[in-house]
A = this chain, B = another copy of it.
Amino acid sequence: MRSNENTKAALGALKLDAAGFTSILEDRLPFAQLMGIQVDAFELDYVLLRAVYSERFLRPGGTIAGPIMMGLADAAVYAVVLSRIGAVELAVTTQLSINFLRKPEPCDVLAKASLLKLGKRLAVGEVVLYSEVSNELQPVAHATATYSIPPPEQGSHRS
């Protein structure tokens, strides 16, 4: 019994790279800037984003506020979708579900996103969020998000 999960070989080349997505983050997503989001890795089968810790992430209890993690998770799925379809900026989230697993320490949060499905109209991504504590990654949340991909003529591929 073999699993037919995609292999790197089947994935082909990236249609948007780390520099391309960083440019979208910086120029087009002001809120991601407030959340200190940057790209750590852009691979064929996953992307890794980082929210660089700031005191404004804190909530009562000294842990990191949920909206920071939700924003990071959403951005990570956006990144992995665009890495596979190109800079179709008008792709939009239609649904997101997140489970918060453990209280995140006051430090950087990492989000590793991969695709569960890439259809013509819908893409579904999965994200695991980690606290980076003393160079160890502790899982703190798990999310899935669905993106709606606009038809090619409306996709506003960024030129």
- A interface residues, Cβ below 8 angstroms from B: 1-5, 24, 28-35, 55-61, 63, 65-68, 70-71, 74-75, 89-90, 92-103, 116-117, 121-122, 124, 126, 130, 132, 135-139, 142, 144, 146, 148, 156
B3 and A156 contact, CB distance less than 8 A = no
Q: Using Cβ atoms and an 8 Å threshold, which residues of chain B touch A71?
A: 65-67, 70-71
Bound: A24/B57 CA distance, A = 15
Listed residue (A67, A99, A100, A132) with the most chain B CB atoms within 10 angstroms of its CB: A67
Q: Are B59 and A4 in contact (CB under 8 A)?
A: no
By the criterion CB–CB under 8 Å, are B101 and A4 in contact?
Answer: no
Q: Enumerate chain B residues within 8 angstroms of A99, measured Cβ to Cβ.
A: 94-95, 116-117, 124, 144, 146
Closest to A145 in B: B66
